[in-house]
Amino acid sequence: MAEAFVLPLPGRSIGVVFWERARRGEPSAKGAASPTFAVYAPAALSPGEAAEISAALHTALGEAAGGEPSRLSAWPRLLWLALGGASAVLLALRALELGPAYSFLCLLAVGATLPWGSAMRGGRASRARALHAARRIADISLEAGTDARSIERLALLWQHARRQSGAELTQVNNLEQFCREQSWPAAARVYSDLAGTGSVPATSSWRRGLRWKSRATGGRPYASLEMRAWP
């Protein structure tokens, strides 16, 4: 149902929880019906770290399922938008007789009464998936991952990471490249996002600008938590 990986970073590591079928197209270790939470780490996790990873999964599910308490449900929001939108358009058309400036003012005044914030907030499919997963929380058991391919890929990644040196951003870019070579796009995306959000210091301003642009690509299909450095 969900998988977590402890991925290497320079001087520390990051726990990444995939719960939203992020690894679409890749073979699942246990199959979708099995309510397990498989954790892949370079060594055994302490009980506290396991609890942190569980909490990361719950946080991701809770935030995807809920949002803010005042969130409007779909039908009232549609009704509000339809009635208000029709009023705005009708008044704007009527005001066209007086001139386009009046029409614009009318559109602005009535348009301001629409629930824009709620209307723009999407993620309905994500919410449905989160609710579906949340209903099965009680049945989920956290266990060490057993998928041989995932174990091997993670071991190779850690081996590669231990050989790295130099600036943090360069190392993260190298790890991203390595993940792509290993046909592991989900992990590559994690490194790409890390470099883009400024978690890893960029070397120049133009690079930061590019990273900022890449950050606007939408929500991430995983939850993450910082973890300790591993020997």
Contacting positions for another protein (CB under 8 A): 11-13, 37, 45-52, 54-56, 58-63, 65-66, 68-72, 76, 80, 83-84, 86-88, 90-91, 93-94, 106, 109-110, 112-113, 115, 131, 134-135, 137-142, 225-229
d(CA 36, CA 95): 61
> What is the closest distance, in whole angstroms, from the C-beta atom of residue 32 to another protein in the complex?
18
Q: Return the number of the residue (90 or 210) whose C-beta is nearest another protein.
A: 90
Residue 225's region, left for phi above 0, alpha for psi from -120 to 50, else beta, is beta
Nearer to another protein by Cβ, of 128 and 155: the residue is 128
Q: Which is nearer to another protein, 173 or 230 (CB)?
A: 230
Side-chain-side CA neighbours of 91 within 13 Å: the count stands at 16
Quick one: CA dihedral 176, 180, 184, 188, positive or negative? positive
CB nearer to another protein: pick between 24 and 136: 136
- Spatial contact of 61 and 19, defined as CB atoms under 8 Å apart: yes
Shortest Å distance, C-beta 205 to another protein: 24
Q: Cβ of residue 181: shortest distance to another protein, in angstroms? A: 27
The phi and psi torsions of 68 (rounded to 5 degrees) equal -80, 150
4 by Cβ neighbours in 10 Å (0-12 / 13-18 / 19+) ranks as buried
Q: Which is nearer to another protein, 33 or 181 (CB)?
A: 33
Q: Measured between alpha carbons, how far is 169 from 202 in angstroms, rounded to an integer?
A: 6
CA distance 112 to 92: 13
CB of 206 to another protein, least distance (A): 27
Residue 117 CB, nearest approach to another protein (Å)? 10
CB of residue 112 vs another protein: minimum separation in angstroms?
8
Nearer to another protein, 112 or 210 (CB): 112
